[in-house]
Each structure stands twice: as C-alpha cells, then as structure tokens.
C-alpha cells in the first residue's frame, strides 16, 4: 500500500532581506521576484495550504503554469525540499523529517540525470548496488524492467548512443527497479519532440498498469494531465485551484483560471447579464438574448440566482454555425481561419470580443476556404448546456462554487 497524504502543506522561502549576505561591503544580488506569489514577513509563499489525499496506485497529476508551485510540492514529497508547515504522510507515517532515501520513493527528472560513463544496464543497476542487493537479483530486476520498457536491446549502450525517448525510458527503468511505493515524475517528457511525447505518454499509461506504485506527476502540459491522470490538481501562484477527474475539471471548472487553462483552444469569455424570466433563464449579451437550457436553469435556481452580472464562457467545440436570422444567433466577422485537417479553427470578432470556433470539416466541400475567408461574416449559436457562468468579482463558478 502507498497512500500519500498532504495536510496543510506550506513552503516559504525566507525573506531575502533577512538572509542576504554582503560581499566586500556590497549588497548581494536579489533573486527575481515573482509578483503573483504571496509575500509575508517570513518570506515568499511558494506553496500555500496544500491539501490532498492520494490513494494507493492512483495516478495524480499536478498541472499549472511555470512558477505555480507544482515542482516545489513534488520535491517536498521527495524530501528534496524542506516543508515549512503542515504534515506529509506516506502509508500513515509522517515523513516531514525523513531523509529521501528512507521514504521508499523514486523520482524521474526532466533532465534524465543518467551517468554518461555507465552503460544502460549499469545505470539501471546502480541504485540496487547502493543497497547491496545480490547480483543475481539485480540482474533479474534490471532485465525485467528493461523488457517492460522495451529497452533490452540497449542494455550494453552508453546514454550518448540513445535517443531522447530511449534515455527517458532508461531513467524510468532506473526508478522502477527499486520497486518504490511512490513514483514521482517531474516534467519527464518536456525535452522530447511532439511525436516522442505522444509515444512516451502511451508508454507511461501502460507502465502504471504493470507496476504497483502510486504516481505523482508534474507537468505544465494540459494534454499530458488530461490523458494520464486519474485526478488532476490545478495550481496557480502556489494555491490549489481545483482537484478532480479530467472530465470534471473540463466540464465543471471551479473558476475562471481553470476554465481558461484547461482546454485547447481555451474557453471563450464575454460579459453578460443573467436574469430569470417567466420562461426560464436568459443571458443578455453580445446584443442578443441567449436562452439557457432547463438543466442549467435548475442549477442556477438551486444556487439562488435571479439577476446577476456575470462573466460567461463557452468552449470553442460547443459552438454551432447558424443563420443570422435565427433567434439567439450571434453575428461577427472572421479575422482568420486555421485549417487543422479534421477541423477548422475560426477566429472571429464579435461586439469587441474575440471568439474561437472549432468546426468539423467533414460536412464541407472544396469551398471550405471560401466559407471562412478573412473578413467574411459569420453567425453562430451555443450548444445546450454550453454556457458557464462566473462571478465577476471572485471569478468563481456560480453553479459550482
């Protein structure tokens, strides 16, 4: 069993004014400050009140923009960063002060961190040799891991003779030969090209089915997060914004940040006034009245909404082309279109807002390019249940606070 629990975990980097040193009477250079992080008298708060319970063999992904605290959180789990506050437990044992080597974890780094003078076999065997595991067991574990990862034919090679994807497989193999309870991965695919990233994502999905370990994975790539994670933890400025399954965070974003961060292309946003009428809820926006589905109306009623200024959001995939004279149709002008093969991404200007529509190309003939020419008019409607509503002040989802 390998349950991981983080209770009120906080990481504070001490105030530079209290810790800086002088060299030959001159001030030491200050590090670049991240203005969006919370600053207290104690210092910069890199991770604030992080709470998460990770089940045995669960695959959890920490995702967010650079500087959001996801790698810092992972390093605290690994023991590579001290914990300023809170409690970290693995299998019910408090690990705050336990050395990394005694936590029964393994970590895969972004940079592979392979020994260039050793063969693949020796790189994978090295952690077992440090533990003084018998040679026959080492050989068995290394060859088993190599077979699992498809790198048996490279065991006699040096890392310089391998591709990036092969090196990353070796780094993963070196981690799993120890049979750790928890496997930590810090952006392991970011150095690979797009094709290799896709292949390695599939390999990691297969790997997690073969080994009895709990996975904690860090990435800034939402595609990796959505395809790999049982649950996703979305972070911003050291604070958890939402925890949920990939489908939950996509369908029910907790706030404006999550709504804009998850999804490619990102959600379209516009201002509107939400009101309850005799026939149901409508949004007055974009010079028209947008009808809200009965299901969404019931959720709004349960939330106690009658009349409210909101920021509304609609995903590009949930927009349909319409005739300009249809009730509730929204009209604008095409700025540019991007043919992506099976879809075309249409960028349009609508009443001062920029909209992106993702339109399948299967129903269009050879006149597709002329249909979405720059400067051409376009009209569209939203699919039922497509509109999300966010509080204009807090940014929180009105239906899912």
pLDDT at 264 over 60: yes
- CA 100 – CA 310 distance, rounded (Å): 48
Instruction: Find which of 3-7, 99-103, 131-135 is predicted with most confidence, using mean pLDDT.
Output: 3-7
* In contact, 346 and 309? CB cutoff 8 Å: no
Q: Exposure pattern of 230-261 as b/e (b: 16+ CB <10 Å)? A: ebbbbbbbbbbbbbbebeebbeebbbbbbbeb
pLDDT, tens digit, 9 for 90 and up, residues 160-174: 999 888 998 999 999
Helix (H, G, I), strand (E, B) or coil at 291: strand
| Domain boundaries, given as residue ranges, for the chain | 4-20+31-256, 331-378
For the chain, give the percent of residues with pLDDT over 70.
93
Q: Does domain 4-20+31-256 have CATH number 3.40.50.1100?
A: no
Q: Residue 391 and residue 308: Cα distance in Å, rounded?
A: 9
Tokens of 205: 């999905």
Token digits of residue 146:
């190599």
Give the three-state DSSP class for 206: helix
3-class secondary structure, 355: strand
CA distances from 349 to 313, 321, 336, 369, 393 (A): 15, 15, 10, 18, 25
Of 110, 85, 99, the residue nearest 13 (C-alpha): 85
Does position 94 have pLDDT exceeding 70, yes or no? Answer: yes
**Three-state SS for 38?**
strand
pLDDT digits (tens, 9 = 90+) for 226-248: 999 999 999 999 999 999 999 99
pLDDT grade, residue 74 (50/70/90)? Answer: very high
46/139 Cα distance (integer angstroms): 42
Q: Please, what is the average pLDDT of the chain?
A: 89
Q: Pull the structure tokens for residue 303.
A: 């939330």
- Whether 29 shows a pLDDT value over 50: the answer reads no
- Sort 272 into a burial class: Cβ within 10 Å, 0-12 / 13-18 / 19+: buried
How do residues 13-22 score in pLDDT, each as one tens digit? 987 554 444 4
pLDDT average, residue stretch 91-109: 93
The answer to whether residue 135 scores a pLDDT higher than 90 is yes
Name the pairing type of β-strands 38-39 and 93-94. Answer: unpaired
What is the model's pTM?
Answer: 0.88
Tell me, letter by letter, the H, E, C secondary structure of 298-314: HHHHHCCCCEEEEEEEE
Token duo for residue 81: 């960063």
Look at residue 203 and give its three-state secondary structure.
Answer: helix
DSSP reduced 3-state for 47? strand
> What are the distances in angstroms from CA 319 to CA 68, 231, 353, 378?
31, 27, 15, 12
**Per-residue model confidence as pLDDT tens digits over 37-71:** 888 888 999 999 999 999 999 999 999 999 999 99
Q: Residue 366: its pLDDT value, please?
A: 53
Q: How far is CA 167 from the centre of its chain?
A: 24
pLDDT confidence band for 364 (50 / 70 / 90): low
Question: Do 73 and 52 contact (CB within 8 A), yes or no?
Answer: no
Segment 287-291 shows an average pLDDT of 90
CATH number of 331-378: 2.40.50
Pull the structure tokens for residue 299.
Answer: 């959720």
């Amino acid at each position: 069993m390998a349950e991981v629990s983080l209770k009120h975990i906080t990481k504070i980097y001490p105030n530079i004014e209290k810790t800086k040193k002088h060299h030959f009477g001159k001030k030491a250079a200050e590090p670049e400050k991240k203005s969006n992080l919370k600053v207290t008298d104690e210092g910069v708060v890199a991770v604030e009140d992080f709470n998460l319970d990770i089940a045995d063999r669960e695959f959890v992904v920490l995702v967010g923009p650079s500087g959001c605290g996801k790698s810092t959180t992972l390093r605290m789990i690994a023991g590579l960063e001290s914990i300023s506050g809170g409690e970290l437990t693995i299998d019910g044992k408090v690990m705050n002060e336990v050395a990394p080597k005694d936590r029964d974890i393994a970590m895969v780094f972004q940079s592979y961190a392979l020994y260039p003078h050793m063969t693949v076999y020796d790189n994978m065997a090295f952690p077992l040799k440090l533990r003084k595991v018998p040679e026959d067991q080492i050989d068995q574990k290394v060859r088993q891991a190599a077979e699992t990862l498809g790198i048996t034919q490279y065991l006699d090679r040096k890392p310089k003779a391998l591709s990036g994807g092969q090196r990353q497989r070796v780094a993963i193999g070196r981690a799993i030969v120890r049979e750790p309870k928890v496997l930590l991965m810090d952006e392991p695919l970011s150095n690979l090209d797009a094709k290799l990233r896709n292949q390695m994502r599939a390999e990691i999905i297969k790997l997690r089915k073969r080994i009895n370990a709990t996975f904690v994975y860090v990435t800034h790539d939402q595609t990796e997060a959505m395809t790999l994670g049982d649950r996703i933890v979305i972070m911003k400025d050291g604070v958890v914004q939402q925890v949920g399954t990939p489908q939950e965070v996509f369908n029910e974003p907790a706030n404006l940040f999550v709504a804009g961060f998850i999804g490619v292309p990102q959600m379209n946003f516009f201002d509107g006034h939400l009101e309850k009428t005799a026939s149901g809820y409508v949004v007055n926006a974009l010079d028209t009245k947008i009808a809200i589905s009965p299901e969404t109306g019931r959720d709004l009623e349960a939330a106690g909404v009658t009349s409210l200024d909101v920021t509304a959001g609609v995903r590009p995939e949930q927009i349909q082309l319409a005739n300009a004279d249809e009730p509730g149709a929204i009209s604008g002008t095409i700025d540019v279109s991007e043919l992506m093969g099976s879809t075309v991404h249409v960028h349009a200007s609508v009443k001062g807002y920029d909209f992106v529509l993702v339109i399948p190309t299967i129903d269009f003939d050879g006149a597709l390019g002329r249909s979405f020419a720059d400067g051409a008019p376009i009209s569209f409607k939203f699919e039922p249940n497509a509109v999300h509503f966010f509080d204009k002040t807090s940014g929180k989802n009105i239906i899912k606070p």
